[in-house]
Amino acid sequence: MLERLNQALDHLEDHLDREVDVAGAARIAAVSEYHFRRLFSALAGMPLPVYVRRRRMTLAAAEVLAGRHTLLDVAVRYGYGSGEAFARAFRSVHGIGPGEARRTGATLTAQPRMSFRVVVEGSTTMRYRIVEKEAFRIVGRKARVPLVPEGENASAAAHLESLDERAVLRMKELSDREPEGIVSAAVYLTDSREEGAEADYWIGAVTGPDSEAGDLDALDVRAGIWAVFDNDGPYPSALQELWRDVFTQWFPSNPYTSRPGPELLRTQPVSIGEETHSQLWIPIERSSAHISA
């Protein structure tokens, strides 16, 4: 898996001076584009578009400082249709515009070319099972919240606190399949997992596809396969570390990739730092590389 990912990075590197072929890179990695973007974000610690922009501006900066081409020529080479768009991207990475950088010889920011390698720690044991589920419905309340990679998500906590007793009782009545009880579900709106990106955050119950929502919100989820991870540890850091480990350790070692769909979580929220048991459900599908092998 890591060898294919590094080959995919080579492909991206070769296309920095033209339209970046993310779909082609995903094919080289033998995964879907959806999974490739999410796996990259987990491994690299930044979304793929951010890495591509930083790499482009690193190469562009060298040409800007060299002075052999006009700024517009450099902009066009790296896929920008106007000098203004190029200047905005350049400034977002380097803190100054390309014209100022050329005039002053200022110190600029470089994004090194990235590659992935295996670091074996052997300290993490992951308990999981594979579950095939028929189509179902999540009935509950939805809110749009920003992602918080570490620590408590205040917006998510406020959404939970806002639920009235009648709505909670209705959810408990509707719960009739795994994961049972009141659960949360995250539907990511983009492939970015950086802080500040948004997701639709649901609090509700998993029930049959024909269940009546009444005055609650409803999310229909298609049939599919799910990887279910059990976790015990301090809240919420253990969960955040589990998600990271799923993408950086479990997926590269197993014949599955992630697929679009809500990630489900059953947990008992407690005070920050206190121990709790949780169950994380990740929608998956078999890797095409293993299917064809």
pLDDT score of 122: 47
Cβ distance 11 to 24 under 8 Å? yes
pLDDT score of 255: 86
Distance CA 128, CA 121 (A): 19
Closest to 239 measured CA to CA, from 175, 176, 282? 282
pTM: 0.75
pLDDT score of 124: 56
Region of residue 79 (phi > 0: left; psi between -120 and 50: alpha; otherwise: beta): left
Contacts of 61 by beta carbon, 8 Å cutoff, 6+ apart:
90, 94, 98, 101, 108, 110
Region of residue 244 (phi > 0: left; psi between -120 and 50: alpha; otherwise: beta): alpha
| Complete domains list, the chain, with CATH | 2-104 (1.10.10.60), 127-292 (3.20.80.10)
Digitized pLDDT (tens) for each residue of the chain, 293 residues in all: 678 888 999 999 998 888 888 999 999 998 999 899 988 888 887 889 889 989 989 999 988 888 888 999 999 988 888 888 999 999 989 989 998 888 876 778 888 888 877 555 545 567 899 999 999 999 999 999 988 777 778 898 899 899 999 999 999 999 999 999 999 999 988 766 666 678 999 999 999 999 999 999 999 999 999 999 999 899 888 888 888 888 888 888 788 999 999 999 999 877 788 898 999 999 999 886 543 43
Residue 267 has φ and ψ, to the nearest 5°, of -150, 165
Model pLDDT for residues 144-164, shown as the tens digit of each residue: 998 877 777 889 889 989 999
pLDDT score of 105: 64
pLDDT score of 219: 97
